[in-house]
A and B are shown apart, each in its own frame.
Chain A
Amino acid sequence: MNAELALISALNGASYGLLLFMLSAGLTLIFSMMGVLNFAHASFYMLGAYCGYQISQWVGFWPGLLLSPLIVGIFGAAVERYGLRALHTRGPVAELLFTFGLSYVIVEVVQVLWGRPPVPYRLPPELDGSLFTVYTVDFPRARGFVMLVAGVILGALALMLRYSRVGMIIQAALTHAKTVETLGHDVPRIHMLVFGGGSALAGLAGAVGGALTVTEPNMGATIGAILFVVIVVGGMGSLAGAFLASLAIGELDAFAKVIDRSPADLAAALGARLDPSNPLYGLWSLTLSQAAPVLPFLLLVVVLLVRPRGLLGKREDR
């Protein structure tokens, strides 16, 4: 591996990591405020992609990018208001089950409306081509665009949470819900707002991520599993932890994909030749790029063994 490939991989990893953080930020905020882990969050991501696709068919990509977070956000707020709120007294398992069922239904509805094969959702032509070139390796403009969108939105969100009145009320409601209620704020409405906002973030991530990769009914399940790994590895309820874990998994994925070496190669470089008849030869000759899809989950196992509460997790629930 040379320096320019490393730089490009780092950038690729950062863009994927930021996309993941757009999802995990909303999920974490919702979780730390309401104690609800929204299993359907990845389905909202998929819904955002399909909304973006449909609007891009009718009007164009850019209106879709604006409207699909809005639609998904309103849908999310409605889910909180008419579904989750009634379940709140029954504890986290009931809420998790409800959102699980919801994710099941959303996938089916999407299949009924748009079919099972992927839909041709693409970024507009002005985002084709490369942004800059490091020696011989191109950095695609599309990935730069993802980083820009994620950076701007997340930056705005951070400023909003830190300095605006709404943001301060949300922060207060995170830790002192009862007090905030006593001060005359409608805490259930804040919950709905946060849930809708988190869903809108997922919708935006979907509108961007779907165009960048593939838009298909299975995309939610694919990214969902990784998303929940991010949440657990970062420490449940910790926004900074989610940020760290998102970037770590993004970089892990990007670097693993370009390293075409296996443990057997390493052993050979050190002078130990592995016999192909060895029963574990298949395992040892697996290259890192082949193992890339498993790495986030292996990271999960390692983190759980070393630090069960996650990187920056505070509470240890039983």
Chain B
Amino acid sequence: MNRALAARWLPWVAGALLLVIVPVLFQQGFVRQLFAVCAVMIVFTLSYNLLLGTTGMLSFGHAVYSGFGAYATIHALNWIGRSHVPLPVTALPLLGGCGGLLAGLLLGFVSTRRSGTAFAMITLGLSELVGACWLMFPKFFGGEGGISGNRTVGAPLFGLPGWNLGSDLQIDYVVGAWCFACIVAVRALLGTPLGRIANAVRDNPERAEFIGYSARQVRWFMLLASSFFAGISGALAALNFEIVSAENVGAVRSGEVLLATFIGGIGYFHGPILGAIVFVFFSVALSQWTKAWQLYLGLFFVVLVLRAPGGLAAVIERALAQVRDGSVLRRARLLCALGACAVLALSGLIVLVEMTYQRTLEASGGYLVRVFWTDIDTRQAAAWVLPALLLIGGALAYGWLRRQDTAANAPIAVLTAAER
């Protein structure tokens, strides 16, 4: 009993502790930059998974809601600055959430009339609609440069002097606290009758209607909840960066949240959290090493869709299960061989991509490209043949090994796995 209780509460306590400790531990450098971005992304992906994972609605326009939240926040910030009303800026994400909710009320009424593929196409169209409005209403959207604000204008928190979000540490804590509150709120929402019936609508809308629920209404309510949390994440981003531009509502951002959520795993509550962290790592860390990071991200996503539809969360769970039942030891040789083949093929691919990149987009930078701590001359034929052989050989060997291993061919998780 005690053990079960501990297992239940441990992740929450650990998460809260992490949110408290990390900003103090890393006062500068890499982690410091990433902390708030990660927290914002976690709220965003969780809100997205309320649609995709919980209700089975694939949206290509989720950034519209977070963008409206961000714009509501930045306009409110500027209004506070102009009128000197002593309002606490810390509470502004609530307003941002309402901004997202308003967008959800309007757009969701249209989009939730359909489901499945049609819903996805409609969200894409609506996102383009909002994206095109950006040029037409420069006053609200701020035109090319966007709108910037100042988060230190409002009343200090708890009336304490200096607690006005001026320092990085303060904004980290505020964003972290909001992030934790949102995680708790989303978890609670999933346990309500609405959250459960949303699962029913995802799995079998017809039967959900037979027991007396309107599938359309459930979809709309879930979209409202999702747009509220998306609005909060937009507001947090606005507070963190103090600038909001058309990027915040754009199709690129909508695509990013879809990638991040799916990579983490849509069938698990902690999947989107994991996905947000991995995605931020991809977009910030990887983009410092290579300019082709979006290509790697896209390929990673495609491979996940094909081979591991449960996302990273499912992969980790399966690996843990294999460690626990000891099958990892029995298959150790095979797994090592598979890993080696994958590493070979991947490194071949990476070298090829980087060399191509050097020849086309970076052509002004000369013929030499630095990959894996070595300089490669892209004019030599041998420099192209070797990685190509690595890629083809590695991929063929990997495929052959997989066919030998019947156990590994079992599907990792079904897309609509019940949430844990």
Q: How many A-B residue pairs have CB under 8 A?
A: 135
Please report the C-alpha to C-alpha distance between residue A253 and residue B299 in the assembled complex, in whole angstroms. Answer: 36
Chain A interface mostly helix, strand, loop or mixed? helix
Which chain A residues lie closer than 8 Å to B118 at the CB level?
232, 236, 317
Partner of A105, one of B113, B117, B122, B299: B299
Partner of A225, one of B113, B125, B360: B125
Binds B, one of A7-15, A60-68, A113-121: A113-121
Partner of B137, one of A109, A111, A114, A282: A282
Whether A304 and B121, one on each chain, are in contact in the complex, defined by CB atoms closer than 8 angstroms, is no
Which chain A residues lie closer than 8 Å to B306 at the CB level?
83, 86-87, 98
Partner of B125, one of A104, A111, A300: A300
Nearest residue, chain B, Cβ from A316 = B114
Partner of A236, one of B117, B295, B301, B357: B117
Which chain B residues lie closer than 8 Å to A153 at the CB level?
none
Please report the C-alpha to C-alpha distance between residue A111 and residue B293 in the assembled complex, in whole angstroms. Answer: 12
Binds A, one of B39-47, B128-136, B152-160: B128-136
Which chain B residues lie closer than 8 Å to A97 at the CB level?
58, 258, 262, 305
Which chain B residues lie closer than 8 Å to A308 at the CB level?
113-114
Which chain A residues lie closer than 8 Å to B295 at the CB level?
105, 108-109, 112
Mark contacts of B100-143 with chain A using CB atoms, 8 A cut-off: 1 yes-contact digit, 0 otherwise: 00000000001101111110111011111100110111010000
- Whether, in the assembled complex, A156 has its beta carbon less than 8 Å from a beta carbon of chain B, the answer is no
Please report the C-alpha to C-alpha distance between residue A101 and residue B303 in the assembled complex, in whole angstroms. Answer: 9
- Whether, in the assembled complex, B251 has its beta carbon less than 8 Å from a beta carbon of chain A, the answer is yes
Whether A104 and B137, one on each chain, are in contact in the complex, defined by CB atoms closer than 8 angstroms, is no
- Whether, in the assembled complex, B294 has its beta carbon less than 8 Å from a beta carbon of chain A, the answer is yes
Whether A93 and B125, one on each chain, are in contact in the complex, defined by CB atoms closer than 8 angstroms, is no
Nearest Cβ on chain B to A90's Cβ, whole angstroms? 6
Which residues of A90-111 are within 8 A (CB) of B? 90-94, 96-98, 100-102, 104-105, 108-109, 111
Interface size on A (CB < 8 Å)?
A: 50
Which chain A residues lie closer than 8 Å to B114 at the CB level?
232, 304, 308, 317
Q: Given the known A-B contacts A297-B132, A300-B125, A304-B122, are A98 and B305 also in contact in the complex, defined by CB atoms under 8 Å?
A: yes
Whether A94 and B415, one on each chain, are in contact in the complex, defined by CB atoms closer than 8 angstroms, is yes
Q: Given the known A-B contacts A93-B415, A308-B113, A308-B114, are A105 and B298 also in contact in the complex, defined by CB atoms under 8 Å?
A: yes
Whether A37 and B117, one on each chain, are in contact in the complex, defined by CB atoms closer than 8 angstroms, is yes
Nearest Cβ on chain A to B409's Cβ, whole angstroms? 11
- Whether, in the assembled complex, B206 has its beta carbon less than 8 Å from a beta carbon of chain A, the answer is yes
Whether A225 and B298, one on each chain, are in contact in the complex, defined by CB atoms closer than 8 angstroms, is no
Whether B121 and A37, one on each chain, are in contact in the complex, defined by CB atoms closer than 8 angstroms, is yes
Which chain A residues lie closer than 8 Å to B259 at the CB level?
101, 104
- Whether, in the assembled complex, B309 has its beta carbon less than 8 Å from a beta carbon of chain A, the answer is yes
Which chain B residues lie closer than 8 Å to A114 at the CB level?
360
Nearest Cβ on chain B to A245's Cβ, whole angstroms? 12
- Whether, in the assembled complex, B361 has its beta carbon less than 8 Å from a beta carbon of chain A, the answer is yes
Nearest residue, chain B, Cβ from A236 = B118
Partner of B121, one of A87, A231, A283: A231
- Whether, in the assembled complex, A240 has its beta carbon less than 8 Å from a beta carbon of chain B, the answer is no
Partner of A90, one of B127, B128, B415: B415
Q: Given the known A-B contacts A92-B116, A97-B262, A232-B118, are A112 and B356 also in contact in the complex, defined by CB atoms under 8 Å?
A: yes
Whether A297 and B120, one on each chain, are in contact in the complex, defined by CB atoms closer than 8 angstroms, is no
Please report the C-alpha to C-alpha distance between residue A83 and residue B301 in the assembled complex, in whole angstroms. Answer: 13
Nearest residue, chain B, Cβ from A228 = B121
Partner of B360, one of A92, A112, A221, A298: A112
Whether B298 and A93, one on each chain, are in contact in the complex, defined by CB atoms closer than 8 angstroms, is no
Q: Given the known A-B contacts A93-B58, A112-B357, A304-B122, are A294 and B129 also in contact in the complex, defined by CB atoms under 8 Å?
A: yes
Query: Which of B114, B117, B128, B353 has the largest count of A CB atoms less than 10 A from its CB?
Result: B117
Whether A93 and B262, one on each chain, are in contact in the complex, defined by CB atoms closer than 8 angstroms, is no
Nearest Cβ on chain B to A225's Cβ, whole angstroms? 4
Nearest residue, chain B, Cβ from A300 = B125
Complex A-B: 5 CB contacts under 8 Å: A31-B117, A37-B121, A100-B60, A300-B125, A318-B215
By a beta-carbon cutoff of 8 Å, the part of chain A in contact with chain B is: 31, 37, 83, 86-87, 90-94, 96-98, 100-102, 104-105, 108-109, 111-116, 221, 225, 228-229, 231-232, 236, 282-283, 286, 290-291, 293-294, 296-298, 300-301, 304-305, 308, 317-318
- Known pairs A297-B129, A300-B125, A317-B114. 16 more at Cβ < 8 A? A31-B117, A37-B120, A93-B56, A93-B415, A100-B258, A105-B299, A115-B360, A231-B121, A236-B118, A291-B136, A294-B132, A297-B125, A297-B126, A297-B128, A301-B129, A305-B110
By a beta-carbon cutoff of 8 Å, the part of chain B in contact with chain A is: 56, 58, 60, 110-111, 113-118, 120-122, 124-129, 132-133, 135-137, 139, 205-206, 209, 215, 251, 255, 258-259, 262, 292, 294-295, 297-299, 301-302, 305-306, 309, 353, 356-357, 360-361, 414-415
| Shortest beta-carbon contacts, A-B, top 9 | A297-B129, A108-B295, A104-B298, A101-B302, A105-B298, A225-B128, A228-B121, A318-B205, A101-B301
